[in-house]
Amino acid sequence: MEKKIVIIRIKGRVRLKKVIADTFAMLNLHKKNHCVIVDANPSYLGMVNKVKDYATWGYANDETLSLLNKRKKEGFKSFALSPPRKGYERKGTKVHFNAGGALGNRKDKINDLIKRMV
């Protein structure tokens, strides 16, 4: 089975470049705190790399995928999530995950964030 990437939009629409807005539209991420599950193929990885300053992503495990599929409404491709309990990481939504913030690639730690948001 191919790995799945979960992408969560962290920032809203204010002062968003058109290229970034178009990429979010292609990913069906129209609102803040919404997420989408995609395959880990090169085209999606390129899109994810383009929105790295506005979203967070990582590789989902089976438990997280089943948890998200319970919340899925018919006809929708994205999942509405709540803001995370106890907030985002210490440095907030303006700093990348490697530096202690919330943005960028989380790898397997995306599962912990999703559990706090469901």
Total of domains in the chain: 1
Q: If we measure between CA atoms, which residue out of 21, 71, 27, 78 comes closest to residue 48?
A: 27
Boundaries of domain holding 39: 4-117
What is the structure's pLDDT at 3? 87
Angle, in degrees to the nearest 10, between helices 110-117 and 62-71 = 30
What is the structure's pLDDT at 78? 86
The CATH code of the domain that includes 28 is 3.30.1390.20
What is the structure's pLDDT at 71? 80
Q: In what order do the strands lie in the sheet with 104-107?
A: 79-80, 34-39, 4-9, 55-59, 104-107
Per-residue pLDDT for the chain (118 aa), expressed as one digit of tens each?
678 999 999 999 999 999 999 999 999 999 999 999 999 999 999 999 999 999 999 999 999 988 988 887 766 778 899 999 999 888 989 999 999 999 999 999 999 999 999 8
Phi and psi at residue 84, in whole multiples of 5°? -65, 140
Whether the pTM exceeds 0.95: the reply is no
